[in-house]
Amino acid sequence: MESFFVDPKNIRNGLAKIEGEEYHHLAHSLRKRVGERILLFDGSGKVYMATITKITKEYAECEIINENFMLGEIEAEIAVAQAILKNTDRFEFAIEKLTEIGIKRIIPIITSRVISPKSKIDRWQKIILSACKQSNRAIIPEIDEPIKFDELLEISSKFEIKIIFHESESTEFKRGFLFDHLKKIKNANSIILAVGPEGGFTEDEISKAVRFGFEVVSLGQRRLRSETASIVGAGVIAQFIFANLKRKEIEDCRR
């Protein structure tokens, strides 16, 4: 079932009004008709099942059948600090897939190996909104303006669990596998994952991150592209937290 974004101010008295690009997508691209059921989300956590009752030349009106809150969302805040990539298509692919996975915040970062990055925040937000609709998200993830690596280290104090992915064999710092960190993640309320650009983080950046409380983690024997590491790492953690939550719900029902 297709999902559409609706501005919260356009939901009143059990009716929702869809305007702008979302209306054009509904009426012209997908050619929806009166009587069809769709999903609506307002970006803040509310998800609605609705029936289309009216389609005009400027907007569509829907009757809300039922309402859910944070449907399919995990409680923990997972943020991914993704280095901006030279290949913009790969960076945007990472943003899209991280949104589908369930990440709540994406922080583009500028590292030593990032060259002349440009902020495309408007385009990135459109990619995120499209991915939200495709994956039936209840909220729209935040995406920050790009920040420097040292700024990331400063704001990382807000997170309980801090992980930086790195494949170097340096003996300067201990490196564990993601599987070994899952028990620590189990009850965490906030997690930040840092992923480097093409070529990875420098040894100096890793050393700085360790001093700020980041744990250095490997994703295995394969040398992964940056966007692959980002998606795999975030995906494993999101699924682990979701599965753990469902396990608790089942156990509570049995008591």
Contact 132/41 with Cβ under 8 angstroms?
yes
Position 239 pLDDT exceeds 80: yes
Angle between helices 226-254 and 88-101 (to 10 degrees): 0
Contact by Cβ (8 Å): 155, 190: no
pLDDT at 116 over 60: yes
Break the chain down into helix, strand, coil percent, rounded to 5: 40, 30, 35
- Could you read off the pLDDT of 190-219 as tens digits, one per residue? 999 999 999 899 999 999 999 999 999 988
Average pLDDT, the chain: 91
Average pLDDT over residues 50-66: 97
Q: Are 121 and 141 in contact (CB under 8 A)?
A: no
Instruction: Give Cα separations from 215 to 127, 165, 179, 184, 254 (angstroms).
Output: 30, 8, 13, 11, 37
Q: What are phi and psi of 75, to 5 degrees?
A: -70, -40
Alpha-carbon distance values, 102 to 170, 183, 239 (Å): 32, 20, 9
| Span of 112-116, 130-134, 147-151, 158-162 with lowest mean pLDDT | 112-116
Q: Tokens representing 228? A: 């692959």
Residue 35, φ and ψ in degrees, nearest 5: 100, -20
Does the structure show a pLDDT above 70 at 251?
no
Set out the domains of the chain in order of their start, with CATH numbers: 3-69 (2.40.240.20), 77-246 (3.40.1280.10)
Average pLDDT, stretch 158-170? Answer: 86
CA-to-CA distance for 45 and 40, rounded, in angstroms? 11
What SS3 class is residue 34? coil
Cβ-contact 39, 50 below 8 angstroms: yes
SS3 of residue 203 by DSSP? helix
- Neighbouring C-beta atoms of residue 74, cutoff 10 Å: 20
CB 124 within 8 A of CB 142: no
Tell me: pLDDT of 151 over 90: yes
pLDDT tens-digit map of 41-52: 999 899 999 999
